[in-house]
Amino acid sequence: MSMPKELAAIVDDFTAIPESERLNLLLEFSENLPELPTRLAEHPELLEPVVECQSPISIIVEVEDGAASIFASAPPEAPTTRGFASILIHGLSGEPAQTVLEVPIDFPQSLGLSRIVSPLRLRGMTGMLGRIQRQTREQV
């Protein structure tokens, strides 16, 4: 599986701890979802909604000098969704566009959360990754 170093480290963090503690780690990520820069916060219509998610989340990718920057907006009352978005942002932002495109679409399965969060929620994270990759591809 081809994965950027930061994303692989996040997978290692999840799989190194007991399954019972993984939800807490996901919630920590949710609390660390970066705020949108003002230029995007003032223009939420620039972000693309991820309809596969049960909770409202919108994403935008900007590729500059070959590197992807990822931004997302999700409400505080959607911690699982925020956690997934935060993992993708921390694991992929700043990576070369080609590296982002090479992340396997079934990446969410590698976090070891399938018995803790519903398949619907994991599908939501897969939807986020799909949007990130499509937006990246469109800009390369």
Domain boundaries, the chain: 5-139
Positive or negative torsion for Cα 126, 132, 137, 140: negative
pLDDT of residue 85: 97
pLDDT digits (tens, 9 = 90+) for 126-140: 999 999 999 999 999
pLDDT digits (tens, 9 = 90+) for 87-97: 999 999 999 99
53 and 126 Cβ atoms separated by less than 8 Å: no
Question: Which of 7, 127, 137 lies closest to 61, judged by CA?
Answer: 137
Question: How many residues would you count in the chain?
Answer: 140
Q: What is the pTM of this model?
A: 0.96
User: 5-139 in CATH: which number?
Assistant: 3.90.1010.10
Listing from the earlier edge strand, what are the strands of the sheet with 67-73?
A: 48-49, 58-64, 67-73
**Predicted confidence (pLDDT) per residue in 4-53, tens digit:** 999 999 999 999 999 999 999 999 999 999 999 999 999 999 999 999 98
